[in-house]
A and B are shown apart, each in its own frame.
Chain A
Amino acid sequence: MATMTESPEKAAVGRFGAYGGRYVPETLMAALEELEAAYAKAQADPEFQAQVDALLRDYVGRPTPLYHAKRLSESLGGAKIYLKREDLLHTGAHKINNCIGQGLLAQRMGKRRIIAETGAGQHGVATATVCALLGMECVVYMGEEDMRRQELNVLRMRLLGAEVRGVSSGSKTLKDAINEAMRDWVTNVRTTHYLLGSVLGAHPYPIMVRDFQRVISREARKQILDQEGRLPNAIVACVGGGSNAIGAFYEFIPDANVRLIGVEAGGRGMGLGEHAARFQGGVPGVLQGTYSYVLQDEDGQICLTHSVSAGLDYASVGPEHAALHDSGRAEYVSATDKSALDATVTLARTEGILPALESAHAIAEAIRIAPTMDRHDILVVNLSGRGDKDMGILSRELNLKGA
């Protein structure tokens, strides 16, 4: 029988505690290693960092404000609520932070073709935008169910010159779009960069995407110290794959007194298939390249999920969140479809801000806990995206009347 020649130290690469790693077809390994090396080199290169920073400032619109939501805070009668305004970024969500980084990286690697998956369409739009900016070919995979409920974003992507390929397998949502993007990547791996949109997938994606999103907490931490002279009591962010949440949490992880609260999609209820609350209904497993909490049945088949927000409608969660969950450093709760819709209306009417349905889950949790907190307490909510894309769903769910 053969024996191991080397016990590769690489075994621990890309791990967050027990989670993460690389579970991919062998065909992709060379590409992942190439990406890992190119990313390490770019990270160490001040010129690359300067390129990213310049585009984030001049094109994307960073830094985003940290806004004290006075009327919302007063109406709830508890903690002071601040909103980190990622919704004000070009293309309307935090997704562009990562797309700028990976787009420039792909350019350095000489890859001219970009593929991406998208759920709510925000990552797809951000990817199409960056591809237009950098003159690259762009193909976006999107579940047909998501295309239907986020049609505006489909149109935006097409206008930007991207090809949107509908995915009709499985639940026709984000998970299925990732499967199809991975099939494309396996096939075109020599010429194509897979611009993964969340802290998911095989190493180095969870680390790389987190690094490109860390700017959220880097700014927020400085801003709250400038504005309040102290750290907040808690940070709240919605968690689909978890990229805005990890970006909002990351620089606060060493600040043990700052609670980190992730909000998953509670959907219509806690039955399997009715929600996307991985930390309540999931068990550790391997999906799409990484080991993390996964909503699955007793045979290891991946469960269907439901959320009113396409961006949170996914059966697994970023492996770093799994580690933060197990260590207790972050808490994960869920908000239902209904409470997210209610939160949307509340924020719109108290602050004149229309949140994305994803971000509305974080607002819902803030609305729930703020009244239980002291008036001197500070709650920072990452408002990861704006809600224009959701007008179709909102008008149906809230019975809004048009012309």
Chain B
Amino acid sequence: MPIRFAGKPGLVAYLTAGDPDLPTTREIAIAAIDAGADVIELGVPFSDPLADGPVIQRASERAVKGGTKLSDVLSLAALLRAERPQAGLVIFSYYNPILRYGLERFCSAAQQAGVDGVLVTDMIVEEADEYLEMLRRYELAPIFLAAPTSPDERLKQIAAVSGGFVYAISRVGITGTQSALASDASQLVERLRRYTDLPIAVGFGVSNADHFAAVGEFADAAVIGSAIVAIIERSEPQEAPSSIARFIKGLRQPALQAR
């Protein structure tokens, strides 16, 4: 199923699968979709998340410790697909867990689970020949990162091979919240627009209603990760789904946002 952004802007919600545990991640994902998330990114926990800031590092560590495996994340995706057929589902991973599972085996299982797209943090276009071939064979959208430091030539290559949406990194750096949205973001989206008609989602540091509205001015969607993971971290597991629902509704209606 194609990834669609119904909201304006659309919302991509990142969750580290298995934090605090898989049943809770499922409930949080359902709550997020029902509160208005267009796409759920299911993060595969990894022992060495070198592109992530402290919040997602800690979540990843908890999930790895809890024994969450790639196969568990795929099973979770299948459950979500059955319960919420319209939501976009993206697997977000570092490459090594996928390599160890087997690239083709992973793609086949992801397709069967009803996954729409795959984003591998440490996969760049130059290394992606076989990866792209497999994703296409199993009709999975290859989602790539585009960075403020990427020159136009690279943006062109990224746009040419991307599917689903293009993930524009709002600023140089690792994942995590920030107080103001860097001007890097709008410039990057403007440069990317020249090369693609795909939706462009802006992520890294988007953490509140102000940022969300600001992203809506120049991009199709916002990705919210660390802010959501931080709420899960400080909530009791049974409270987490409702906290996340309230946070997401608050993005579009700031008065509702719990502060």
Contacts and interface: CB of A to CB of B under 8 A. Distances in A.
A2 B162 contact: yes
8 contacts: A2-B160, A7-B129, A26-B145, A26-B154, A179-B48, A283-B100, A287-B48, A300-B99
A170 interface: yes
A38 to B, nearest CB: 15
- Contact residue range for chain B? 35 or more
A113 to B, nearest CB: 14
Interface in B153-195: 154, 156-163, 169, 172-174
A23 B123 contact: yes
Contacts of A10: 126
Nearest to A7: B129
B149 A189 contact: yes
B169 A26 contact: yes
Interface residues of A, number: 48
Contact of B48 (A1, A27, A170): A170
Interface in A258-290: 283-289
A299 B124 contact: no
A299 B136 CA distance: 24
**Chain A CB within 10 Å, residue with most, of B50, B147, B169:** B50
A186 B129 contact: no
B112 interface: no
Interface string A138-153: 0000000000000000
Contact of A187 (B48, B157, B174): B174
Nearest to A288: B50
Interface of B: 46-51, 53, 57, 61, 64, 69-70, 94-101, 121-127, 129, 132, 136, 144-151, 154, 156-163, 169, 172-174
Nearest to B160: A5
Nearest to B94: A286
A175 B48 contact: yes
B101 A300 contact: yes
A22 B127 contact: yes
Contact of A29 (B101, B150, B161): B150
B127 A300 contact: no
Nearest to A6: B157
Contact of A186 (B51, B94, B154, B159): B51
Contacts of A189: 149, 172
A133 interface: no
A379 B64 CA distance: 45
Contacts of B127: 11, 21-23
Nearest to B61: A169
